[in-house]
Structure 1
Amino acid sequence: MNCDTKKSTIQRLRRIEGQVRGLQKMVEEDRPCAEIINQVASVEQALSGVSKVLLTSHLQHCAQHDPNAIDEVVQLITRHWR
């Protein structure tokens, strides 16, 4: 993973961490379930975005030199994007 990708991925994960803390607070405050569910969906989308960035990085940097990479990538996609 290049330095810029690593930096932006860490920033994204920190934002997601803040979103999850916000979800905890919403539950503690007995906020309406619909609001919480909307925020959960937002976190799921954000995590999916991180997964896509990591998969792209893996394909660009790691998988090019590994003959088993195609099988590994297929397994990752199958497991994470059903």
Structure 2
Amino acid sequence: MKQSEEKVLTGHGEHCDRKSHHSEKVKKNLVTRLNRIEGQIRGIKGLIEKDTYCDDVINQISATQSALNSVAKILLEGHLKGCVMDRLQAGEMEVLDELLVTIQRLMKK
């Protein structure tokens, strides 16, 4: 499985090097979903510019939020099965605290 390296911003404003564990198939799926969401956002903007009835705009926003939640679920599953598992096996128990903060952030939305 091909891994990509990225500089990520941690919750504490620090950068660290981390690797994702997503296969090319999963990455393609995520990018496809995000492209669709990007289109939904442009559509919402257009609805607002056209003075579309508020309830219709809110329904589109709800659908977009649901689509983003689906992306987050896919990423969370990969994170648990890949990143978190690897770090636990390496004895890095602090990953559990990081995971709890991440889940709390997701649940606020």
TM-score over 0.5 for the alignment?
A: yes
* 2:50 paired residue number: 29
Structure 2 unmatched runs, 5+: 1-21
Deviation at 1:69, TM superposition (A): 2.2
**Counterpart-to-counterpart distance in 2, 1:4 and 1:58:** 16
Q: Which TM-score applies when normalising by structure 2?
A: 0.72
Matches within 5 A, 1:1-82: 1-66=22-87, 67=92, 68-82=94-108
Between structures 1 and 2, the one with greater strand share: 2
Q: Percent identity?
A: 37
* Greater RCO, 1 or 2 (C-alpha within 8 Å, sep 6+): 1
- Pairwise CA RMSD: 0.9
Q: Which structure has the greater CA radius of gyration? A: 2
**Counterpart-to-counterpart distance in 1, 2:97 and 2:68:** 23
Runs of 4+ in 1 over 2 A off after TM superposition: none
